[in-house]
Amino acid sequence: MNPAYLGLVYFVWFLSTYFIVVLILSLIEYKEELFISPALDKNDILPNVSIIISAFNEEESISASLDSLLQLDYPKEKVEIIVVNDGSTDNTREAVQPYTENSHIHFIDNTSNKGKAACLNQGIAAATGEYVACMDADSVVDPQILKKTVPYFKNKKTGAVTVTVLVKNPKNFLEKVIELEYILGLSLFLKIYSLFNTIQVTPGPFSIYRKSVVDEIGGFDVTNITEDLEIAYRIHKAKYIIAFCMTTFVKTIIPNNFTGLYRQRRRWYTGAIQTAVQHRNMFFTSEYGIFGYFVPFNFAIIILGLVLFILSQYLLVTNIIKNISLFALTNYNFLAFLSLREFDPLALSIFGFFGISSICMTLLTLIIGMRFARQSLRTRIPGSVGFVFMFFLYQLFWFVSLYTALTKRKIRW
């Protein structure tokens, strides 16, 4: 066995297991705090909030989004909704038009496509609220979302608040797998990250910002393909906190096929790499607390894991090719080969142990995570099976994204 390969296996296994163990320990340690949010006092005056929706070809979903906003449990006169049309070529304009009769809903109708970040900045510039919430046009919010998130801003250091992102009506297998990923990755784990002040993203479906902070840092970066991720780095850079609220949620539409998921993840991961490179001066410095160490640690796991994955796939493929050429010599007599196979526990190598322990850790995370997220796992068994093996798909997405980032290929939103 090549000692370098063996060392890499040990190192990657150790880093990723350590990451999962710390996550599980944090969940256990902070289990009481997960669903506790600061509440409004009776004497608190509710602030004005502007909600900005950037819409590009959202004729089918924008009505549901606006309807959910009209159901908000928040004084109507304190909510301003700004819809920014990003040069849609479908009937988004016509879909929004009936809502503009409501004096609290404003419509900025761009005839050309500017990009999501530019549209959000346009909305922020027009906003009059003390806080600005940015929301995707394909998402619907919990009526309590503002009442639950606004109190977090009592802490003057809070720059943004994000919420649980759930999947809207998951139907097929892929959607059910991603649903679990959202419950854990875009909800529970973000909550844990928030306790360490290491949130790296303010998710696009719904995040609320202190407007003065957004103005101070110069709004969204129009050159970045993952503007919701990039702004999180600059909030940390400006020494503000990103809080996470688990007691409210936003439901969003997710890709329902492989191509859609591939495009989404390629954009997310390429954007994550580009953003990390852009803000690399934040790493390995105590100035930004754990965040400065957590992000490079995270990327170390991803990149080393990817190197290991590629090496393993190379070995696997060369082995398959070799075996095919061997079977050609025996007229593809697979039956004889299979009859020689036997179960021998002594034949389990250390790699087998690492593999089994990794699957066990993933399952443990899933079971504990769903329990702490107060979600049922029993009703999501098919998705759980897929979730354990999504690792292979993510490695593929990371590989493509790394290539895209390194070759500086342009990706459209």
Q: Which stretch binds another protein (CB under 8 A): 16-24, 148-156, 201-209, 224-232?
A: 16-24
Is position 17 an interface residue for another protein (rule: CB under 8 A)?
yes
Query: Are 21 and 368 within 8 A, CB to CB?
Result: no
Is position 339 an interface residue for another protein (rule: CB under 8 A)?
yes
Nearer to another protein, 277 or 326 (CB): 326
Is position 298 an interface residue for another protein (rule: CB under 8 A)?
no
Which CA distances in Å does 185 have to 130, 179, 193, 199? 29, 10, 10, 11
Q: Tell me, what amino acid is at 102?
A: N
Q: Which stretch binds another protein (CB under 8 A): 10-18, 108-116, 117-125, 376-384?
A: 10-18
Is the sign of the CA dihedral 57, 63, 65, 69 positive or negative? positive
Distance of CA 260 to the CA centre of its chain: 15
Is position 358 an interface residue for another protein (rule: CB under 8 A)?
no
Query: Are 105 and 99 within 8 A, CB to CB?
Result: yes
Within positions 24 to 43, which residues make up the interface with another protein, using CB under 8 A? 25-26, 29
Within positions 184 to 203, which residues make up the interface with another protein, using CB under 8 A? 195-196
Query: Are 132 and 231 within 8 A, CB to CB?
Result: no
Alpha helix positions (H), 223-282: 227-237, 258-278
Q: Which stretch binds another protein (CB under 8 A): 137-145, 179-187, 256-264, 345-353?
A: 345-353
Among 238, 315, 357, 359, binds another protein (CB under 8 A): 357
Gap between the Cα atoms of 3 and 23, Å rounded: 30
Is position 4 an interface residue for another protein (rule: CB under 8 A)?
no
Within positions 140 to 169, which residues make up the interface with another protein, using CB under 8 A? none
What are the phi and psi torsion angles at 284 (to 5°)? 55, 35
Q: CA 387, 388, 390 angle in degrees (round to 5)? A: 60
The SS3 of residue 186 is helix
Q: CA 352, 353, 354 angle in degrees (round to 5)? A: 90
Is position 325 an interface residue for another protein (rule: CB under 8 A)?
yes
Is position 257 an interface residue for another protein (rule: CB under 8 A)?
no
Q: Shortest Cβ distance from residue 102 to another protein (Å)?
A: 46
Q: Which stretch binds another protein (CB under 8 A): 47-55, 69-77, 207-215, 349-357?
A: 349-357
Is position 354 an interface residue for another protein (rule: CB under 8 A)?
yes
Q: Which stretch binds another protein (CB under 8 A): 5-13, 88-96, 103-111, 280-288?
A: 5-13
Is position 315 an interface residue for another protein (rule: CB under 8 A)?
no
Q: Shortest Cβ distance from residue 4 to another protein (Å)?
A: 13
Query: Are 119 and 86 within 8 A, CB to CB?
Result: yes
Is position 297 an interface residue for another protein (rule: CB under 8 A)?
no
43: closest CA among 132, 116, 151? 151
Alpha helix positions (H), 59-115: 62-70, 92-96
Q: Which stretch binds another protein (CB under 8 A): 34-42, 58-66, 165-173, 327-335?
A: 327-335
Q: Shortest Cβ distance from residue 297 to another protein (Å)?
A: 11
Nearer to another protein, 39 or 324 (CB): 324
Distance of CA 380 to the CA centre of its chain: 20
Gap between the Cα atoms of 254 and 179, Å rounded: 9
Gap between the Cα atoms of 298 and 280, Å rounded: 13
Is position 329 an interface residue for another protein (rule: CB under 8 A)?
yes
Nearer to another protein, 169 or 339 (CB): 339
User: Which residues sit at the interface with another protein, rule CB under 8 A?
Assistant: 1, 6, 10, 13-14, 17-18, 21-22, 25-26, 29, 195-196, 290, 325-326, 328-331, 333, 336-337, 339-340, 344, 346-350, 353-354, 357
